[in-house]
Amino acid sequence: MRHADSFRDLVVYQKARAVSRRFFELSKSFPAEERFSLTDQGRRSSRSIGAQIAEAWAKRGYEKHFVSKLTDADGEQQETQHWADTALDCGYLTAQMRDELVDELERIGRMLQAMIDKSGQFCGTTASCARESAGEYFIDRPPLTSHLSPLTDHRSPTTDH
């Protein structure tokens, strides 16, 4: 199996770009009154699928961020399915056009889920993959409750009474 050197090498990204182009072409025939609603929303969500995949690729060093961005991409593909359903309901797409678009979106969704399920293979345990323990973000200091509050007993935290 070939190794991806860039997000552009990912088949799922290539499919996302194709879906985005397809939605754009189909939406050109939507009525003008849909320009700032259905047309823009569907174009935005369909374009965001690939953008989220690209962002996920950039965050491979942090597995949880990688998975989060792939989850966002999946949400965008599902939103695009909604807009395709809406366009069908409004009579702007035929059932065949909608079905072809949704079939491809569902395929992208399955590919994204497979990437999520195998995220460790994308992120790995190499030196470029950051895995910090939660403890590294805490410092030792006395709890804030040990200081007197100027609002509750009118003494400054720096004043000893």
Q: Is 26 exposed, middle or buried (0-12, 13-18, 19+ CB in 10 A)?
A: buried
Q: Give the domains, in start order, of the chain with CATH numbers.
A: 7-134 (1.20.1440.60)
What is the CB neighbour count within 10 angstroms for residue 157? 11
57 closest CA partner among 102, 105, 132, 3: 3
60 vs 156, residue with greater confidence: 60
CB atoms within 10 A of CB 116: 17
In angstroms, what CA-CA distances link 108 with 11, 58, 86, 113, 156? 9, 19, 20, 9, 60
CB 49 within 8 A of CB 19: yes
pLDDT tens digit string along 65-76?
Answer: 999 999 999 999
Whether residue 81 contacts residue 109, with contact meaning beta carbons closer than 8 Å, is answered with no
Can you tell me the distance from the alpha carbon of 156 to that of 66, in angstroms, rounded to the nearest whole number?
Answer: 46
Contact (CB, 8 A) for 113 and 144: no
pLDDT digits over 1-45, tens only? 567 889 999 999 999 999 999 999 999 999 999 988 999 999 999
Share of the chain above pLDDT 70, in %: 75
- Decide if 113 contacts 85 (C-beta within 8 A): no
CA distance 157 to 151: 10
Q: Are 42 and 83 in contact (CB under 8 A)?
A: yes
How much is the pLDDT for 156?
Answer: 46
Q: Is the pLDDT of residue 154 over 70?
A: no
